[in-house]
A and B are shown apart, each in its own frame.
Chain A
């Protein structure tokens, strides 16, 4: 108390004591510098995203209407070129999602509802490891190990289910086919889809679950009637985030497939549709500057595509988070 009486509170007499005044000024300046630095950092994020758009457009714009010979032999103009690449991208990603979704939901259920806690934590950790393995190693493994090992399976599919157009055609001798690329992609998107699904499953109110069990539901009935309806939007978001990852994945596809821009649904042949990303990785060394601008233009298409998918998915997640916060 005595201290306050000897030196009055600064608010009452600002500037009366030179020491206090200067320290206050210093403090104000320090605060202002720090807060504006923080704001600048926040704005940099926005600027960086905008810059990605701007620079891709400024460097890739000429790629939208380059000489027809640049797009040969796949196409004559940018739009059919990009459409063929988009087809390959969509085909590989959708196949990967078809394979991955059941496993992602199963794994998420395992961690959230089925596993004893002692097992659930290590399993979640192992799934994280799956996410940490670099994509180039998935590519190497897919091309050098999985593809040869699955040759028997692919031959079997071709022989017995060849009447389905997907499995028809002249089978690839190396085993490096669209099917294998999709399987590798599925393994790579599994962690993120599982993580999001797990989170929304775990967020189901305990009361709902116990009410279902109390009514005599089996565990599966409880999950089906209490957990799934509650988690539906989150599950959709998890799948879309996985899709976003599959769309942009480069190395796994580039290393497993030797591909060119084309439209074909045959999954087991050695003639495969390229994806946007793998096409960039395959041709980035081109001497021709025009080809490089075309690649940047296709990159822009990929960016817009994945941006939309991710934006919608994140908006869904954010909405469901606010709802259940």
Chain B
């Protein structure tokens, strides 16, 4: 149909929203409550444009034949600005890595506040995720992401009018409800009202403590995202710079969680083959993702026996640091502080689980690491590349791809095939479980048996997959969209394209690796030889495996 956009006549697709039409034509319209993959709620009323003289929300309005649309006259700008003024009386950008609302202040030209804030809420302080409703602007993105993308429904709006506020059910704290701590709400909060519980202070104190030997381990997905916090384009691999920055921050040893991932694969692939050949409970479901573990414990606890008993990679490596490494280096394990750099807020919760307390001491998210590096005034971009400390720093491409959805399964299949047949896979890439499709499936012959496998990412997809779980032998679940590269602790992003670029960076790191199968890793072989014996041995069970509990939702 024909429309006029800012005075220019053009053809437009009548099924598209005005917002999409504007953006396709290079006209920016600020948005707050809009989320590309969710139905527009049109709450915030910031994306206003004028259609035939009337103000409409561009996110939820389709053009009329012959309509005249104006995006930037005084009428529009004034209305947008007043809505911003009403929503957020104090134009303060309190979270450095959150530029979203600051950008909108700029766009609407708001400098001062006319109205006083009317909010008086108590902050909700959890072990992983904290909320401050006083900063909240009720855009509702967290609510919709929690429900529609994550399928968790931990938070919703309560009360009416100016008392309307986001809250976990029954006005409880997040820590007391069926919240899986995935942190997707944090990624979607434009004002920083929800954030991770920071452990920077604790880590800084440990670094300053001369008595302590502070060891840091870096998750696979960090290297594909950390650069974004320092102005680098999405998908830049910054493995070497990350290691260098961590040394500058004062960590004594920098290890690679990829090694933990390789060990996880040894254990998990063996467990899978064991279950298949000995009639164990199938499908076996991966347990690398602490968000998914919580989701299972809250909503699917009848599946506890389907879960692999493997700890997550950083918990495995954490235990090995305090046992294997401590012994080798001759350091008292009590003096070792293990810090994990994770893309994840649920890992913060995981490290407080009583059965896992001895391994990892503190978890910092990617964003927190960025903040720590900035606090130390390290010029990240100009750092030289450095290598991980070799004691526990050699890893394979199989460990790296843990960062992307389908990666754990792909890595496990590479090793399971070798363990089952004694032969390497001809083609390492398992393409059917790569990519951003919500649920992906495939099959493979392992030791004369056809093994069907599937993986899902995002809680809602996980729920969908659980409904048809019995079709498969092996299932991987990642609670966050895209897997760890889209984790709740990662740099805030708006463009879904960012996830694709981070994934690509992960796979390119795998391609560039000399070793691409976990069982080829010399450090893994050494650890099994010197300490663990074989996968699933008694010692391995003690240090590398865990158990789960049923959790009540109410």
Question: Do A and B form a real pair?
Answer: no
